């Protein structure tokens, strides 16, 4: 754990740089701009969206916090795609691995450090949105509503792991593009799977699409409303951490077989 924490500490040191301070200011500006957006909602008769996102029960999502999550996702993909390739290119990773640090320790430390940076960005925007909403309306969000917005962070854990996985195979820019395309394609597959569910089950394309969808995470799950005493929240947590574990295992396998010279 100490070795992982050491890599984590090196990764989060960039928080002390002026560029990161500017990033937090940007997050605060985003939070202020989206603070008055209303609850995320769709028409009741929209079968496609209701198949992707259930918004009927539990604490609702606020549109502004969904925007904050999307901005944080951009930061996550950029940071996770560039950090390890940059260390490899600068030979910094060779200096680290010559010490008693295993490659899996290095990988986990990098992962936790990048997640910490993304969480700081998200929280900076979220706290600003909360304060601006309070200042403008004189009202504060209900505890359950605010907690539901924070659970959007569950989507970041597998996203960072996914991008890090690509960065162990590819150069930084290529990894960034690959992660973006993969996430976009997974969202497309999720939408298509809702369409095919409306087709007769006897058609071969239905089972084919379901098999393909099995290899892609469904990020729409994280936008479901849920009750904190229900099974949905437990399922979201389990789904987030299981996907994260899968992507990190693949990344670890590639790190162990990769020649760093």
Q: How far apart are CA 33 and CA 129, in angstroms?
A: 8
Question: Percent of the chain beyond pLDDT 90?
Answer: 35
* pLDDT < 70: residue spans in the chain: 38-58, 194-207, 209-210, 225-230, 260-261
pLDDT, tens digit (0-9, with 9 covering 90-100), for 16-32: 778 788 888 989 999 88
pLDDT, tens digit (0-9, with 9 covering 90-100), for 110-155: 999 999 999 999 999 999 999 998 888 888 888 888 888 888 999 9
Structure-block tokens of residue 229: 């005493």
Q: How far apart are CA 68 and CA 19, in angstroms?
A: 19
pLDDT of residue 260: 65
Decide: helix, strand or coil at residue 50.
Answer: helix
The structure's pTM equals 0.86
Structure-block tokens of residue 100: 């008693």
Q: How far is CA 33 from CA 37, 77, 152, 184, in A?
A: 9, 23, 19, 26
**Count of CB atoms situated within 10 Å of the CB of 250:** 17
The closest of 172, 204, 208, 166 to 189, measured between CA atoms, is 208
Q: How far apart are CA 181 and CA 191, in angstroms?
A: 15
What are the b/e assignments for 44-73, b being 16+ CB within 10 Å?
A: eeeeebebbbbbeebbbbbebbbbbbebbb
Which sequence spans correspond to the domains of the chain? 2-257
The closest of 228, 235, 30 to 147, measured between CA atoms, is 228
pLDDT of residue 190: 77
């Amino acid at each position: 754990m100490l070795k992982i924490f050491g890599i984590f500490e090196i990764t989060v040191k960039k928080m002390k740089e002026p560029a990161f301070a500017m990033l937090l200011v940007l997050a605060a500006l985003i939070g202020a701009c989206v603070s008055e957006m209303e609850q995320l909602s769709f028409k009741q008769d929209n079968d496609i969206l209701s198949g992707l996102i259930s918004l009927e029960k539990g604490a609702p999502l606020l549109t502004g916090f969904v925007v904050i999550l999307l901005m944080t996702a951009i930061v996550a993909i950029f940071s996770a795609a560039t950090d390890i390739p940059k260390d490899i290119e600068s030979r910094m990773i060779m200096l680290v691995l010559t010490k008693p640090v295993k490659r899996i320790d290095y990988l986990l430390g990098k992962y936790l450090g990048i997640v910490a940076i993304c969480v700081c960005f998200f929280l900076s925007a979220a706290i600003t949105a909360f304060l601006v909403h309070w200042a403008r309306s004189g009202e504060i969000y209900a505890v359950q509503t605010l907690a539901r917005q924070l659970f959007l962070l569950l989507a970041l854990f597998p996203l960072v792991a996914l991008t890090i996985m690509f960065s162990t195979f590819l150069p930084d820019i290529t990894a960034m593009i690959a992660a973006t395309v993969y996430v976009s394609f997974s969202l497309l597959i999720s939408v298509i799977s809702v369409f095919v569910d409306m087709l007769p089950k006897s058609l071969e394309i239905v089972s084919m699409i379901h098999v393909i969808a099995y290899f892609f995470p469904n990020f729409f799950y994280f936008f479901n409303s849920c009750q904190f005493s229900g099974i949905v929240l437990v399922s979201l947590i389990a789904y987030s951490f299981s996907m994260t574990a899968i992507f990190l295992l693949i990344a670890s396998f590639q790190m162990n077989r990769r020649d760093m010279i």
